[in-house]
Structure 1
């Protein structure tokens, strides 16, 4: 993602980080007054919050509900909760962080699709979804990704009722071009590196600022964490976790993942304290 964060994106980021409850228990609706305060802390004014909430409600991602105290609020829909749950492994467990970095021989996943002309709208949906999953383009109608994306790909295509148009294959790259060169055709590595460097330009100074602070201030921690997460959460989809042996030696994705992971470890819990305080104040 490039440019300034949007109110809609920040609301989704907030719910993904702090609006889903804990210990397997769904969170209740967030009062609209609390949502306005919590989004105000990251620079979104009240009219923009209300407008973005309305759009997310129309898209079926938020549902209107009442809190136990009877206040108007919004909760995640089941579809939105599933989307956020699916994203957790990508966002918080990116291969570059070291939780099982893939070797070059880890294998590849091919998606080969054919969509009838009368259903060409599904062709566009299929292409856009594969791109969002991090697939590269090997040839027209043939998309490729690291094999570790198989489960997520299968689940996503089935949920969107696109599986009848796709065949999935798993295997190795055999000939004729060296795989390292082929990867540069399948993905725009220069653009991916640019995205990682943009994240680092914005977030490394934040990390440096927190390095000398022993006890995070809850509101500051919340603001910096939500903004960092909103910037980061798109990157593990643009960059699908390609095998390190196939990437340039100075690949900035490694450092970007380290910076986000350190910010998460440093700021998340303190940010949660600020959220709890804001929700408690609205219920008092």
Structure 2
């Protein structure tokens, strides 16, 4: 099931792309930006993608309660910045969201084997949900599997959530009696994941075609809008599909094409989108016209 586009999700996508500051080159694939964002500027910039001011304020309040945004003063204005924990979460996601390398071959898997005492069942639920969010499939009760390239992110996440003492991680090959593609089809809901990719392509391929057909640069405002909506739609997919090897996937798997479309939109729109954000935050009157 596709992630619903909500004001809260769009704000997280906005901060991930434009609200971290730091390296102007955007790290491993994209994020740079201005750091703390004035409330008035955030309302204007979310308004450009169809979110009204009350919805922005309500979503910001929820993100503040969850500890993801913190209130600050910036340039004499009320503003919100990412909390350290939120910055860590976004940094962790960069490698996956902006990944360009091809998935590894089918011979290297990561196993997470865990046991949580009944007295700590809350941590058991948290562990299962976190492994699922990292893209693991369930091979058996207490045994979860993922492509080995997610090992570093998994270790980091389990340590950060203080779940590492309950888990053992192993790397190896699949040598069961069932062919690996058949086993993968049990471990992951491939039809549901394919539908997510197809929904992304249905929405974003026309956008890419429109921009590819342009003989001149388009409006920075349109570039910003199209980029933020594409990023918000895309950023959940590399977790639903953690880069499974092509050899174990059904023919005509749409994941590779979806990744290509997002990468092309990122390359085409990111720079103009960031220019628009910087102008909107530094020249408010001009951006409002």
Q: How does 1:223-242 map to 2 (within 5 A)?
A: 223-242=225-244
Cα displacement (A) at 1:3: 6.0
Deviations 1:4-40 (A, max 9, x none): 4100000000000111114278844210000000000
Q: How does 1:154-193 map to 2 (within 5 A)?
A: 154-193=155-194
Q: Give the 3-state SS of the residue equivalent to 2:12 in structure 1.
A: helix
* Alignment counterpart, residue 104 of structure 2, candidates 102, 105, 115: 102
The Cα RMSD (Å) is 1.6
Q: Is the 8 A contact 1:216 1:267 kept in 2?
A: no
TM-score (normalizing by structure 1) = 0.94
- What is the alpha-carbon distance in structure 2 between the residues aligned to residue 125 and residue 258 of structure 1? 33
Between the two structures, name the one with larger relative contact order (CA 8 Å, sep ≥ 6): 1
Q: Is the 8 A contact 1:62 1:76 kept in 2?
A: yes
Q: Is the 8 A contact 2:36 2:72 kept in 1?
A: yes
Unaligned regions of 5+ residues in structure 2, if any? Answer: 25-31
Deviations 1:84-121 (A, max 9, x none): 0110010000xxx4x1431122x111111111111101
Q: Is the 8 A contact 2:33 2:274 kept in 1?
A: no
Q: Is the 8 A contact 2:17 2:33 kept in 1?
A: no
Cα displacement (A) at 1:211: 1.4
Cα displacement (A) at 1:174: 1.1
Q: How does 1:1-284 map to 2 (within 5 A)?
A: 2=2, 4-23=4-23, 27-67=34-74, 69-93=75-99, 97=100, 99-105=101-107, 107-213=108-214, 214-282=216-284
Aligned length: 278
Runs of 4+ with >6 A deviation? none
Q: Give the 3-state SS of the residue equivalent to 1:125 in structure 2.
A: helix
Unaligned regions of 5+ residues in structure 1, if any? Answer: none
Q: Is the 8 A contact 2:147 2:244 kept in 1?
A: yes
- What is the alpha-carbon distance in structure 2 between the residues aligned to residue 49 and residue 40 of structure 1? 9
- What is the alpha-carbon distance in structure 1 between the residues aligned to residue 44 and residue 155 of structure 2? 39
Q: Is the 8 A contact 1:31 1:282 kept in 2?
A: no
Q: Give the 3-state SS of the residue equivalent to 2:283 in structure 1.
A: helix
